């Protein structure tokens, strides 16, 4: 049964029936807990929705939305003043940036590029995570650059005064707590309110179409999760924009998605033969993107998630994890036989963020099979192992994260207080994972109506 539009609302997920996925592009995947492996019940991990095996595609790389806009869809901009929402990832398959291309094709397309808008980390991408990004005038192009991260996350009327159409071209990485999709949400909302057209230049989801993790509790809404989507959402930005329009925005935007050509989500492990441009300072590689939706949860504890090392989110550690404890952690996590991943003791001295300048013991996360790997359940297992083996591990708020009434960073990231409360109560990770499967199935069924590929 394919769910129709409008079945998600401000109150959360609608109750959906049987999950159905398009047979032409997906293989069936169990949504229940996986069969127990030889290591015992602690090894069971629920399979993410729509996990399929990819092979190296033949032929040329995928043509992303920006390529297609410049090649054949400049008519969408004809006669209009254009505002571009972008960052360093807004490039073609040949690494030409959208700012340069839109400026170069103004005469041909009959439009004018009048403004730039930057998400977290800025249009040029060099601002650290969480740091305020100011508005300014771009010295190379002379265009105004409006910041959409900090006090102003939704563009004001003044910021849109000289724009007829907004174009969004940013690479997402498939995690609800990655803020670029919420910049898209707010700019779509502003476009609808100001009678401005909205175009999304679509790009691949580096995790493919797999979905996993809790759906957001609306009570925990923040800029690391505004609306009720899973922790690993399984959609491209174009598909998400369609879902936002159909399910969440009170006034839908006048939306056009410039689709990719040749995109098949199941080939995510090969990157579709496209060049990787780091979407933010701490996502330097495609492998980092694979682990981020799960290992990003380590931000919620007093352990370094690897910022300030050469392996952000692929290493975690702390000064009070000694060599014996690091090896015990690796032995425990490897004994759980988590699919597609191996853990290795590794020692590092972060240069920034948590434990900067302090020699720290921890583990490196090696993804051995990206198709089998399930990042969100893996992240829950890592938190469980840390709390089990390392006495000093605590939620990053310390005493400020002890009761159900308190809202902690783990709650914002996971989108559901049940994850924290169950970890604190010693509930087995596989039971925590099983607890979100119902909402995940419901979301997957509704999202199917908005898929493009």
pLDDT tens string 176-204: 999 999 999 999 999 999 999 999 999 99
Expressed in percent and rounded to 5, the helix, strand and coil fractions of the chain are: 35, 15, 50
Burial class (CB in 10 A: 0-12, 13-18, 19+), 78: exposed
Look at residue 18 and tell me whether its pLDDT is greater than 70. no
Rounded to an integer, the average pLDDT of 84-93 is 97
CA pair distance 103, 114, nearest whole angstrom: 10
Q: How far is CA 114 from CA 76, 145, 190, 248, 416, in A?
A: 16, 10, 17, 29, 41
Confidence of residue 132 (pLDDT cuts 50, 70, 90): confident
Does the structure show a pLDDT above 90 at 285? yes
Length of the chain: 453
**How far is the C-alpha of 17 from the C-alpha of 75, rounded, in Å?**
41
Instruction: At 326, list the tokens.
Output: 């690091």
Which range (259-273, 347-361, 409-423) has the least confidence?
A: 259-273
* Angle value at C-alpha 34, between 30 and 37, nearest 5 degrees: 150
* CA–CA gap between residue 14 and residue 8 (Å, rounded): 6
Short-list 405, 406, 388, CA closest to 396: 406
> Residue 398: is it exposed, middle or buried by C-beta count within 10 angstroms (0-12/13-18/19+)?
exposed
**Under a CB-based contact definition with an 8 Å cutoff, are residues 342 and 333 in contact?**
no
DSSP 327-346: HHHHHHHHHTT-TTEEEEEE
Check: CB of residue 199 under 8 Å from CB of residue 78: no
Q: What percent of the chain has pLDDT over 70?
A: 87
Spatial separation of the C-alpha atoms in residues 237 and 22, rounded to whole Å: 19
Q: What is the DSSP string of 124-191?
A: SS-SPTT-----EE-TTT--EEEE-SSS-SS--TGGGTT-SEEEEE----SBTTSTHHHHHHHHHHHH
- Is 5 a residue whose pLDDT tops 70? no
Q: Kindly state the percentage of the chain with pLDDT values over 90.
A: 83
96 CB contacts (<8 Å, ≥6 apart)?
none
Chain segment 206-236, per-residue pLDDT in tens: 999 999 999 999 999 999 999 999 999 999 9
| Residue-level pLDDT at 411 | 98
pLDDT, average across residues 131-140: 89
Pick from 37-51, 77-91, 345-359: least confident: 37-51
**What span, in angstroms and rounded, lies between the C-alpha atoms of 124 and 258?**
23
pLDDT tier at 6, thresholds 50, 70, 90: low
Strands, E assignment, 19-150: 81-86, 112-118, 136-137, 144-147
For residue 53, the model assigns a pLDDT of 35
Q: What is the mean pLDDT of residues 319-331?
A: 98
**H or E element that contains 231:** strand 230-232
Measure Cα distances from 409 to 299, 307, 412, 441 in Å.
8, 17, 5, 25
pLDDT at 45 over 90: no
Question: Which of the 8 DSSP states describes residue 279?
Answer: S
**Is the model more confident about 1 or about 60?**
60
* Res 125: pLDDT: 87
Lowest mean pLDDT among 4-8, 20-24, 213-217: 20-24
For 275-287, what is the mean pLDDT? Answer: 95
Of 43 and 62, more confident? 62
pLDDT at 42: 35
Of residues 31 and 395, which shows the higher confidence score? Answer: 395
As a whole number, mean pLDDT of residues 153-170 equals 97
Quickly state the pLDDT bin for 384 (edges 50, 70, 90).
very high
Buried b / exposed e over 244-265, threshold 16 CB at 10 Å, is bbbbbbeebbebbbbbbbebbb
Q: Which of 35-44, 284-293, 441-450 has the lowest mean pLDDT?
A: 35-44
pLDDT at 33: 33
Name the DSSP class of 59.
S
pLDDT of residue 61: 74
pLDDT value at residue 327: 98
Instruction: Say which CATH architecture domain 65-275 belongs to.
Output: 3-Layer(aba) Sandwich (3.40)
* Mean pLDDT rounded to a whole number for the chain: 89
Higher per-residue confidence, 229 vs 36: 229
What tokens does 420 get?
């924290």
- Residue 138's pLDDT band, with cuts at 50, 70 and 90, is very high
pTM of the predicted structure, to 2 decimals: 0.88
Topology (CATH level 3) of domain 285-415: 3.90.1150
Q: Which residues are bridge partners to 304 per DSSP?
A: 317
Tell me the domain boundaries of the chain: 65-275, 285-415
pLDDT at 74: 98
pLDDT band at 131 (very low <50, low <70, confident <90, very high): confident
How would you classify residue 285: left for phi > 0, otherwise alpha for psi between -120 and 50, otherwise beta? beta
């Amino acid at each position: 049964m394919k769910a129709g539009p409008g079945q998600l609302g401000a109150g959360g997920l609608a109750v959906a029936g049987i999950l159905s996925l398009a047979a032409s592009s997906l293989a069936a995947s169990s949504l229940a807990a996986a069969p127990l492996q030889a290591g015992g019940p602690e090894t069971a991990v629920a399979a993410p929705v729509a996990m399929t095996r990819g092979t190296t595609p033949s032929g040329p790389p995928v043509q992303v939305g920006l390529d297609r806009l410049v090649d054949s869809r400049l008519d969408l901009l004809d006669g209009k003043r254009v505002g571009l929402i972008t960052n360093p990832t807004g490039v073609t398959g040949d690494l030409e940036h959208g700012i340069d291309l839109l400026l170069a094709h103004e005469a041909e397309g009959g439009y004018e590029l009048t403004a730039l808008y930057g998400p977290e980390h800025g249009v040029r991408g060099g601002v650290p995570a969480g740091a305020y990004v100011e508005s300014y005038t771009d010295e190379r192009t002379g265009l105004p650059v409006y910041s959409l991260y900090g006090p102003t996350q939704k563009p004001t009327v003044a910021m849109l005064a000289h724009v007829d159409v907004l174009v969004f071209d940013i690479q997402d990485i498939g995690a609800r707590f990655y803020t670029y999709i919420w910049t898209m949400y707010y700019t779509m909302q502003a476009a609808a309110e100001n009678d401005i057209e909205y175009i999304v230049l679509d790009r691949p989801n580096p995790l493919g179409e797999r979905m996993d993790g809790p759906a957001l509790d609306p009570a925990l809404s923040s800029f690391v999760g505004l609306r009720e989507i899973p922790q690993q959402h399984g959609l491209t930005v174009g598909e998400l924009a369609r879902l936002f329009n159909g399910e969440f925005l009170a006034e839908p935007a006048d939306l056009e998605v410039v689709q990719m050509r040749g995109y098949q989500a199941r080939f995510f492990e090969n990157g579709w033969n496209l060049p990787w441009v780091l979407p933010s300072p701490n996502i330097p590689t495609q492998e980092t993107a694979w682990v981020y939706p799960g290992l990003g949860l380590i931000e919620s504890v007093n352990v370094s998630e690897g910022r300030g090392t050469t392996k952000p989110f692929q290493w975690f550690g702390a000064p009070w994890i000694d060599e014996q404890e690091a090896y015990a952690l690796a032995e425990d996590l490897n004994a759980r036989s988590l699919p597609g991943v191996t853990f290795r003791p590794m020692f590092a001295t972060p240069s920034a963020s948590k434990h900067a300048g302090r020699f720290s013991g921890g583990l490196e996360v090696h993804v051995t099979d990206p198709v089998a790997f399930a990042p969100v359940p893996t992240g829950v297992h890592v938190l469980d192992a840390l709390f089990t083996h390392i006495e000093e591990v605590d939620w990053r708020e310390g005493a400020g994260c002890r009761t159900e009434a308190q809202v902690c960073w783990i709650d914002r990231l996971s989108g559901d207080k049940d994850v924290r409360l169950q970890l604190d109560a010693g509930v087995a990770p596989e039971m925590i994972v099983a607890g979100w499967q119902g909402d995940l199935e419901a979301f997957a069924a509704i999202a199917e109506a908005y898929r493009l590929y």
